[in-house]
């Protein structure tokens, strides 16, 4: 890949696979989660961060469609693309913090553009995603879902993401994490 000063990407979140719905017994969990795309180390430039939110009633071990683009984020040479999922499981008396997958994609990996990836390090859920290059002013978000060939690569990232890594992605600590 030719070195570029910057690359603007948009990330499509296809689905989430729930590991722990945080509800005892046969009840289902109520997930309210966000996916954030940003440059890492985090930049003060607002164009280097984007995100989307998903809510759903979930059961441990099941996979659920998300079907949303995070929106364009611009990544400068020398930085990585940081993508993370986190949120809360909504309960009547106490909400539990949720930690999803977290990945770093470097310039050497083309910031992941043009490939399907799956996180493998989420404590509570993991997700399948696609990184698309944004050409000019046209973000791929208006074009619908990218074609999924049925295969993905394991996204690179820490085996057990830390609170600090989630803080970097979201710009705020995760409560009860």
Phi and psi angles of residue 146, each rounded to the nearest 5 degrees, phi first: -70, 155
Mean pLDDT across 35-61: 89
Bridge pairing between strands 115-118 and 73-76: unpaired
Bridge pairing between strands 153-154 and 115-118: parallel
Question: CA 18, CA 54: separation in Å to the nearest integer?
Answer: 13
Closest CA to 34 of 54, 49, 57: 54
Mean of pLDDT over the chain = 88
Architecture of the domain whose range is 6-170: Sandwich (2.60)
Q: What is the pLDDT of residues 118-142, one digit of tens each?
A: 999 999 999 999 999 998 666 676 6
Between residues 171 and 56, which one has the greater pLDDT? 56
């Amino acid at each position: 890949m030719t070195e570029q000063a910057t690359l603007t990407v948009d990330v499509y979140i296809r689905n989430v696979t729930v590991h722990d719905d945080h509800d005892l017994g046969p009840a289902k969990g109520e997930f309210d989660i966000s996916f954030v795309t940003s440059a890492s180390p985090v930049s003060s430039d607002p164009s280097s961060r984007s995100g989307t939110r998903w809510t759903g009633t979930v059961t441990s071990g099941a996979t659920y469609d998300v079907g949303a683009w995070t929106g364009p984020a611009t990544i400068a040479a020398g930085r990585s693309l940081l993508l993370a999922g986190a949120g809360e499981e909504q309960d009547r008396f106490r909400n539990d913090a949720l930690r999803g997958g977290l990945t770093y994609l470097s310039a050497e990996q083309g910031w992941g553009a043009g490939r399907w990836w799956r996180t493998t390090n989420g404590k509570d859920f993991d997700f399948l995603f696609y990184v698309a290059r944004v050409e000019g002013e046209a973000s791929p978000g208006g074009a619908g879902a990218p074609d999924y060939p049925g295969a993905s690569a394991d996204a690179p990232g820490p085996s057990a993401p830390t609170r600090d890594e989630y803080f970097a992605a979201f710009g705020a600590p995760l409560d009860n994490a």
